[in-house]
A and B are shown apart, each in its own frame.
Chain A
Amino acid sequence: EAGVAQSPRYKIIEKRQSVAFWCNPISGHATLYWYQQILGQGPKLLIQFQNNGVVDDSQLPKDRFSAERLKGVDSTLKIQPAKLEDSAVYLCASTLGGASSYEQYFGPGTRLTVT
């Protein structure tokens, strides 16, 4: 079974530029998450989708971050414009069903460096 795929794996941009990350969850997984992991910290949820609807985006900085999950499969996360403090690893995760009992499967992450 293929895992969660993410691209690109690494991205370096200058502040005020824009960037987009892509995630393809495990086939059949209805719930998709984007987490931000700053160096030395645990991952923090940015946004959660159930199929193509947003369940939780309370910690998403909506003035600069946006995300979509068209057709309930792939998802993209965009930052525009980027700030220095956005330097982090962006992790995508997916889970099979609509219950918290299911474990989340994580992709390899996209490491973003903002200079």
Chain B
Amino acid sequence: AQKVTQAQTEISVVEKEDVTLDCVYETRDTTYYLFWYKQPPSGELVFLIRRNSFDEQNEISGRYSWNFQKSTSSFNFTITASQVVDSAVYFCALSEGSTGTASKLTFGTGTRLQVTL
């Protein structure tokens, strides 16, 4: 069975601080995909990144960066120089890839990030 754990329920930072959101996953599949989604107060889930299990390269996109480590089953997300607009709930999610068909996303419980001035 798949499982995603986001141990941090809520994080508060002051603008311009760096913040890391943790994600630990469990799966028996050798092929799988990891995702991060952002859910702002409006409620719509916004896709941020996808990673497949064979690609452990870290990725940077502007102020966002992701660190994928298979050895610790973690896929952490760092926001550098946080801004008020980053305030949202962030979800880490996992989907199986070995079935050959599109699979459901298994979500963590989310981390609420509050960025204040």
Contact = CB atoms under 8 A, between A and B. Distances in A.
B27 to A, nearest CB: 12
Interface magnitude class on chain B: 20 to 34
Interface stretch (A11-19, A61-69, A98-106): A98-106
Interface in B88-115: 91, 93, 95-97, 99-105, 107-110
A27 B93 CA distance: 24
A95 B101 CA distance: 11
A104 B99 CA distance: 17
Given A40-B109, A42-B107, A107 B95 contact: no
Nearest to B101: A98
Contact of A99 (B46, B97, B104, B107): B97
A92 to B, nearest CB: 11
Contacts of B109: 40-42
B100 to A, nearest CB: 8
Interface of A: 31, 33, 35, 40-45, 48, 50, 55-56, 89, 91, 93, 95, 97-109, 111
B105 A104 contact: yes
Contact of A97 (B37, B47, B102, B104): B102
B58 to A, nearest CB: 19
Contacts of A106: 37, 44-46
Contacts of A99: 97, 100-102
B73 to A, nearest CB: 17
Contact of B102 (A41, A95, A111): A95
27 contacts: A31-B102, A33-B105, A35-B105, A42-B93, A42-B107, A42-B108, A42-B110, A43-B91, A43-B107, A45-B104, A45-B105, A50-B102, A56-B104, A93-B45, A97-B102, A100-B32, A100-B33, A100-B97, A100-B102, A101-B50, A103-B50, A104-B47, A104-B105, A106-B45, A107-B44, A108-B44, A111-B43
| Highest count of chain A CB atoms <10 Å: which of B32, B95, B103, B107 | B103
Interface in B50-107: 50, 52, 91, 93, 95-97, 99-105, 107
